[in-house]
Structure 1
């Protein structure tokens, strides 16, 4: 059963004014409109709410008294809801749920949330740092409104806004002989033990860089952790390829790693903001999207190079 809030407002006004005529004057609408709305409300609820008394106005029935109390509470909640959503629109106040690709989260998310909070202190960013497949699921299910990720195997139904590009780079231990080269070939990397970032869609991208050259990597270790890749490489257990370079070359366990461009500039990754096509973005989500774009486009916006 669907009940019109407008009809409830007309009913409350009529009960409070004591007559349809007075209610129509208060609401600044015609008397027949009020009468028709109340009649429709009674039909929708399948009960009589008012007793019409010629020349003496209206009187509430027992059911009408109960509905009047409930209607007032409901209208108050509607007003509170409108006030809350109005605050979000005007003052950027409220919560925004987002997703971030796990590696991008460790590299960018803290600065993005902090700088956005400085502009909009009354907004709470609720985030999930997850892999690519989980990002797709979170967006299509509506658990998040937008996501910051890479352009890896994007499905239909999502809009992608490119905000940055990150090249593929060779990751080497500090004492690796390959560090003496200005660039490293895919052939040289294929000859060495390889540490693979083993996340859904991500692994396919890195493997495709070898396939494009007719090569196969000598995979020695697989891990889902960005920092574990760096640590294994730093400890001399293999080489790797990554598209992100944190500010520090030191791994968690104190080893040093070195990055080198890859000869021929293999396919880079695009950093994108994903939003569901079917979802009309709230102003709050639009503001965060613009903030991300500004962050990456500013000369000092990207903290890693």
Structure 2
């Protein structure tokens, strides 16, 4: 049993592919397959189910052991980083969970400053939904993640970055263009495109506070698809100003009753490596200037 096999196995699981893992690790695909097979042979168990239709899936024992393998790989990475930072040769990896609007509007500012100081630190980005990022934090797939702060208790420490206004978005020819701001009653009868996931309850709450219900015509998971439907005049939506302003063909107005969401970085301080600590410090410095 070697730690390098753990690194190979966790990379295969995270990327869902032997080919992608080989490319990531700068290995041949047969070498990656051999490392995983050797681990299974040594332990006498099957860790992965190889299904041509459904792809790679963890077996029950694979699900239990990969947690410990990630922890061991993470510990070794932190040891190497501590040694590198002590020698003023900063290197390491930051695994970052991120959702679309954050990757488009928030992350570039941090990375531009960070990589000037720490050019040898590598980033692995996992882009997904808010729910997926929380799952990745819990399972150890990512070290730190962009999240939307809620009133619910969280097991993670957070670093607040920005307050994002919630706005009403519509097409260029929509009558709402003439309004200074928009009330929920103004749009109660308009065809509404509802985002799926954790954002939906938030929107329903906004309508409930106004004693109204959205006239839902589509329910959509993907943010870009929502933006394109709105652009084509198929409905209006309520969403993040941070995201919607990246689509120049959309128009948006503030809600008459102001609503904001807090975007933060979530992490477990007891498990942060020197590279992650440096990233959090730079993120704080960049967005302190924005306040």
Any conservation in 2 of the 1:101–1:131 contact (CA below 8 Å)? yes
Shift of 1:182: 0.6
Match of 2:100 among 102, 115, 119: 102
Q: Which runs of 5+ in 1 are unaligned?
A: 1-79, 251-255
Does residue 294 in structure 1 map to residue 291 in structure 2?
no
Match of 2:193 among 192, 195, 207: 195
Counterpart position of 2:154: 156
In the TM superposition, 1:54-93 aligns within 5 A as 85-88=82-85, 90-93=88-91
Does residue 229 in structure 1 map to residue 226 in structure 2?
yes
Match of 1:120 among 118, 134, 139: 118
Change (3 A) 1:212 1:152: same
Match of 2:235 among 232, 235, 238: 238
**What root-mean-square deviation, in Å, do the aligned CA atoms of Structure 1 and Structure 2 show?**
2.5
Match of 1:285 among 262, 276, 279: 276
Shift of 1:175: 0.9
Match of 2:215 among 215, 218, 239: 218
Counterpart position of 1:270: 262
Q: TM-score, normalised on structure 2?
A: 0.67
Change (3 A) 1:159 1:81: closer
Alpha-carbon distance in structure 2 between the residues aligned to 1:297 and 1:204:
30
In the TM superposition, 1:27-46 aligns within 5 A as none
Shift of 1:280: 3.5
Relative contact order higher in (CA < 8 Å, ≥ 6 apart): 2
Any conservation in 2 of the 1:140–1:276 contact (CA below 8 Å)? no
Shift of 1:155: 4.7
Shift of 1:115: 3.2
Alpha-carbon distance in structure 2 between the residues aligned to 1:280 and 1:92:
18
Question: Larger Cα Rg: Structure 1 or Structure 2?
Answer: 1
Counterpart position of 2:133: 135
Change (3 A) 1:219 1:81: closer
Secondary structure in 2 matching 1:195: strand
Alpha-carbon distance in structure 2 between the residues aligned to 1:161 and 1:82:
24
Q: TM-score, normalised on structure 1?
A: 0.64
Secondary structure in 1 matching 2:241: coil
Change (3 A) 1:100 1:155: farther
Q: Which runs of 5+ in 2 are unaligned?
A: 1-76
Shift of 1:297: 2.8
Deviation track 1:62-110 (CA, whole Å, cap 9, x = no partner) reads xxxxxxxxxxxxxxxxxx9966531045433111111112332233334
Change (3 A) 1:243 1:275: same
Counterpart position of 1:207: 204
Change (3 A) 1:248 1:95: closer
Any conservation in 2 of the 1:172–1:178 contact (CA below 8 Å)? yes
Deviation track 1:1-36 (CA, whole Å, cap 9, x = no partner) reads xxxxxxxxxxxxxxxxxxxxxxxxxxxxxxxxxxxx
Match of 1:257 among 243, 246, 250: 250
Shift of 1:248: 4.4
Deviation track 1:212-252 (CA, whole Å, cap 9, x = no partner) reads 222110111121122211111111111111113355443xx
Change (3 A) 1:260 1:229: same
Secondary structure in 2 matching 1:208: helix
